[in-house]
Structure 1
Amino acid sequence: MAAAGVLGPFFCVDERRAPDWTCWAALSADAKALRLRTDEVRAVLAAGPGSPDVEPGVVASLTHLGLVARLVSPLLGAALLSGVLPVTPVEDVHIDLTGANPLPLALPATSAVAIGSAEELAAAFQLHWLTPAVRPFTRAVRAFWSVSPRVLEGNVTSAVAGALRMAGTARPELAARADAVLDALLGSGPLAGTGRRRDDGSFVRRSCCLFYRLPGAGICGDCVLDARARGDENGA
């Protein structure tokens, strides 16, 4: 986990947590805990030009995307760099829900899974993190704010793809392996069908995080709307 910090701020973790940090498991079980973050995100978005009233669904989606990205980045970075995937119960993961991204995150690894191929990394990540941590959180956001499951599933893929891309950018020797891991995740398991490669090899999700609904926001680089604008094959 310490080694992953060289990849960038989103890959850094804290060894200890403060008493007021929130357990990751609570984000899936308690709407009040998650609302702490959505209220702060809404305030930031509403302060932007022309954005006094931000749709709750937009706030929930962007909050979800940011939190998932914060969780998965150090895990994937550590696996790419060290060849082992850190594993810990979600009850032991804590995050500070106040402030700007990347939020402080305490993620003490209690064990690790040795990784060989990109397919093995993808399978271990699905088993130890997507299933017990990310998917329950995603279902909770959908239940609390009635956000489309297609949007939230795309957020997860976007967060994973973004973390892998950042790792490959920070350490170019990791880029090929990071691409192979993403292809393995897109090929089978819970993320299958949520994204694809553009004609130029870059990643595009098959949904939108709703960021474009903010006045003057535009669209994200991996958005399906961007693929359509480019006229990519299968862009729809």
Structure 2
Amino acid sequence: MDPGTDPDLDPALARLAALGGFFALRTGLPPLPTLEEAYATRSVTDAPDPLAFRVDKVVRLLRAPEVRIGVSVAQQGLAARLWSVTLGAAVLYGQVPDLDPRLLRWDADGSAPDDLWLAEVRSLPGDATTIRQVVQHGHLEALSAALRARHLVSAGLLWGNAGSALAGAARELDRWGRASGREDVGERARELAAELLDHPDLRGTGTLEGTAFRRRSCCLYYRVPGGGVCGDCCFTRPPSRS
């Protein structure tokens, strides 16, 4: 374990809050659905549907002309939260919290850090293999399947969002580490991100050099009124809509 890490996760995961809202994670049992419930297959008669609520909210707030834009932005936001929590914990504690979808409650109407609540803090190893199991296999695969069952959106776009969100979390940790005199934080974040991106589902999503990421797909944000291309977009300018 790195000398700059704490040996145990504290019950409130308090140190994560210092990294910023996307890295923070509330603990407790608010009356909210779990992410396992959010990912569940639903028929048109089932209600409520947290994923549908989130997508509708994003579409409305962005005034998006297509539902798939809301799907993309909503999925990337949740992916960023999950990667950020685990990477942040790994570099600060040397361990990560178990984010089992049955333990993680989600407020589809909330924003970071009040959107996610962990019912119980269980420590897991802070290595890339564990983080992949927790985030990629534990959440992103189910999230992608649930969204694609509800909406016409490509798997490649969603995995591109996941790669972008992972690189973004590492970049923020690197920035925080430099500002805080903790160069080890950025170094470890870069190592973890590179290892996590080396997987068939993520390897082709873009290229990572240090913390600079250039993705091979587009999240569609340019199609939002007044929107442009993101910093890691495959496009250098918004493509023509003709």
1:184 paired residue number: 195
Query: 1:154/1:136 Cα in 2 relative to 1: closer, same or farther (>3 Å)?
Result: same
Select which of 224, 228, 234 maps to 1:224: 234
Retained in 1: the 8 A contact 2:26–2:113? no
1:12 paired residue number: 24
Distance 1:109 1:185 in 2: 25
Distance 2:225 2:170 in 1: 29
Is residue 2:146 matched to residue 1:134? Answer: no
2:52 paired residue number: 35
1:73 paired residue number: 84
TM-score, scaled to structure 2: 0.81
Distance 1:68 1:22 in 2: 18
SS in 2 for 1:137: helix
CA RMSD of aligned residues (A): 2.0
- Structure 1, unpaired ranges of 5+: 47-52, 116-120, 230-236
SS in 1 for 2:228: coil
Q: 1:48-197 alignment to 2 at 5 Å?
A: 54-115=65-126, 121-172=127-178, 173=183, 174-197=185-208
- Structure 2, unpaired ranges of 5+: 1-12, 43-48, 238-242
Query: Structure 1 residue 95: deviation in Å?
Result: 1.3
Distance 2:38 2:119 in 1: 18
Query: Structure 1 residue 191: deviation in Å?
Result: 1.7
SS in 2 for 1:85: strand
Counterpart amino acid of 2:30?
A: A
Query: Structure 1 residue 2: deviation in Å?
Result: 2.1
**Percent identity between the aligned chains?**
34
Provide, for residues 52-102 of structure 1, a one-character-per-residue CA deviation record: whole Å limited to 9, x for no partner. x62011111111111121222112101111111221421110111114455
Provide, for residues 186-215 of structure 1, a one-character-per-residue CA deviation record: whole Å limited to 9, x for no partner. 2235322212136x8611122111101112
Distance 1:8 1:99 in 2: 16
Counterpart amino acid of 1:222?
A: D
How many residues matched? 214
Retained in 2: the 8 A contact 1:97–1:103? no
Retained in 2: the 8 A contact 1:65–1:159? yes
SS in 1 for 2:96: strand
Retained in 2: the 8 A contact 1:195–1:205? yes
TM-score, scaled to structure 1: 0.83
Query: 1:100/1:129 Cα in 2 relative to 1: closer, same or farther (>3 Å)?
Result: closer
Retained in 2: the 8 A contact 1:65–1:155? yes
Distance 2:162 2:118 in 1: 19
Structure with a larger share of its residues in helix:
1
